[in-house]
């Protein structure tokens, strides 16, 4: 399987703290070990008003595991999770990178105060650290971190809902995405653009109903390449984890695609038969 192919993993059935994906096995034939730790479900703190790890959380962590060797090679200095909920994702990211990339500074944000407390508890239970901030998207951090974040991970509220449910307090804020599920996503994208470093990567969970093609076109206009790292269908949802990276990363910096992965022509758009067809037409082929 080539590095840029869409990877379909089966539903997460294991609650084990150590998992090795097929993709990771192939990625780790290099210098990195083939297994890595992620957060243990039994150590993840919970609260009635906080989103528990679910299929979308698992798909994001599995995508990060699938890209782990690239992440290690990328040597990020600052990683941020927007909308950390229980802390399962940011804790897993810290655990999976801690051995080979031990000096990363982690940040996490959530608009829900209970989520902030829960994430702190989950991090502590696993012996890893992140600065966890109660804020809307990243507004409390934007001045401090502008242009400095190498990896952003987001599992946003993406469910299409009535507009009035968006920005509700507590657990409703976990899923309520307004029209097309895009209300919060569309606010996160420009913030990510502002925060990401020259070589920054953004991993975002997106639902088919969110119109991922349009999201990638919009990010493309800002100079980002994109590809699906992983997609998974549950009984209710078709989830994709899309990775975005700056196409114009400064020369000499490690960047997406440097390990034989994606380039512009291998971008996420090429996963769409319609777009491939249009491109063939454009190229006369
Ligand atoms: C689908 S949950 C994901 C939780 C966790 N990341 C996971 O994957 O299990 C979305 C999270 O985003 C948070 N959230 C919603 N709107 C937000 C906003 N404007 N700023 C920051 N966090 C927000 C919610 O409170 C919730 O914790």
User: Following DSSP, what letter does each residue of 107-118 receive, concatenated?
Assistant: EEEES-HHHHHH
- Closest Cα to atom 13 of ligand 1: 83
Kindly indicate whether the domain formed by 18-282 is annotated with CATH number 1.10.357.10: no
Mean pLDDT of 131-141: 95
Q: How many CB atoms lie within 10 A of CB 184?
A: 23
Ligand 1 atom 4 nearest Cα:
85
Higher pLDDT, 99 or 140: 99
Q: How far is the CA of 140 from the centre of ligand 1 (A)?
A: 16
Minimal-distance CA residue to ligand 1 atom 14: 83
How many H-runs (helices) and E-runs (strands) does the chain carry? Answer: 9, 9
How many other C-beta atoms lie within 10 A of the C-beta of residue 240? 23
Best residue for ligand 1 mutational test, from 38, 47, 51, 139 (most atoms within 8 Å of Cβ): 51
This prediction's pTM: 0.83
The residue with greater pLDDT, 155 or 26, is 155
Name the more confident of 204 and 35: 204
What pLDDT shows up at residue 218? 97
Q: How far apart are CA 219 and CA 80, in angstroms?
A: 19
d(CA 245, CA 253): 13
Percentage of the chain exceeding pLDDT 90: 69
C-alpha torsion angle, residues 109, 114, 120, 124 (rounded to 10): -150
Q: What is the DSSP string of 15-74?
A: --SEE--HHHHHHTTSSS-S-EE---GGGS---TTSPPP-HHHHHHHHHHHHTHHHHHHH
Atom of ligand 1 nearest to the CA of 50: 27
204 and 156 in contact (C-beta within 8 Å)? yes
Q: What is each CA distance from 89 to 121, 152, 241, 260, in whole angstroms?
A: 13, 11, 13, 27
Q: Please state the rounded mean pLDDT for residues 217-230.
A: 97
- What does pLDDT average to over the chain? 83
d(CA 197, CA 94): 19
Ligand 1 lining (C-beta closer than 6 Å) = 51, 53, 56-57, 60, 82-86, 88-89, 109-112, 115, 136-137, 155-157, 173-175, 184
**Coil/strand/helix, residue 260:** coil
* Ligand 1 centre distance from Cα of residue 112 (Å): 8
Alpha-carbon torsion (41, 44, 47, 51), positive or negative: negative
Domain ranges, ordered by start, for the chain: 18-282
pLDDT digits (tens, 9 = 90+) for 235-260: 889 999 999 999 976 544 555 644 43
Q: Which of 90, 111, 230 to mutate to test the pocket of ligand 1 (most atoms within 8 A of CB)?
A: 111
57 pLDDT exceeds 80?
A: yes
Return d(Cα 167, Cα 271) in angstroms, integer: 33
Which atom of ligand 1 is the closest one to the Cα of 175? 1
Q: What is the pLDDT of residue 36?
A: 73
DSSP 172: G
CA of 172 to the centre of ligand 1 (A): 10
The reported pLDDT for the residue numbered 167 is: 76
Average pLDDT over residues 79-94: 98
Residue 85 Cα, ligand 1 centroid: separation in angstroms?
A: 5
107-115 average pLDDT score: 97
């Amino acid at each position: 399987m080539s590095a840029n192919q869409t990877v379909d993993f089966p539903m997460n059935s294991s609650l084990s703290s150590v998992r090795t994906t097929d993709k990771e096995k192939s990625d780790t034939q290099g210098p990195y070990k083939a297994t890595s730790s992620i957060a243990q479900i039994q150590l993840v703190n919970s609260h009635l008003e906080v989103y528990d790890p679910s299929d979308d959380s698992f798909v994001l962590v599995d995508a990060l595991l699938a890209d782990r060797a690239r992440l290690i090679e990328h040597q990020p200095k600052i990683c941020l999770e927007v909308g950390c909920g229980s802390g399962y994702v940011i804790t897993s990211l810290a655990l999976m990178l801690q051995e080979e990339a031990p000096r990363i500074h982690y940040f996490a944000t959530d608009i829900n105060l209970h989520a902030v407390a829960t994430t702190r508890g989950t991090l502590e239970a696993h012996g890893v650290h992140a600065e966890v901030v109660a804020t809307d998207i990243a507004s409390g951090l934007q001045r401090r971190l502008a242009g400095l974040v190498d990896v952003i991970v987001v599992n946003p509220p993406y469910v299409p809902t009535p507009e009035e449910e968006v920005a509700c307090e507590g657990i409703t804020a976990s899923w309520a995405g307004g029209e097309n599920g895009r209300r919060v996503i569309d606010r996160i994208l420009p913030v990510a653009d502002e925060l990401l470093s020259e070589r920054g990567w953004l991993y975002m969970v997106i639902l088919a109903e969110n119109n991922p093609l349009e999201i990638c076109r919009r990010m493309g206009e800002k100079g980002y390449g994109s590809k699906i790292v992983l997609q998974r269908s549950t009984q209710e949802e078709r989830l994709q984890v899309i990775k975005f990276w700056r196409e114009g990363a400064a020369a000499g910096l490690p960047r997406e695609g440097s390990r034989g992965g994606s380039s512009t022509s291998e971008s996420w758009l090429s996963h769409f038969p319609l777009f491939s067809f249009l491109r063939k037409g454009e190229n006369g082929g």
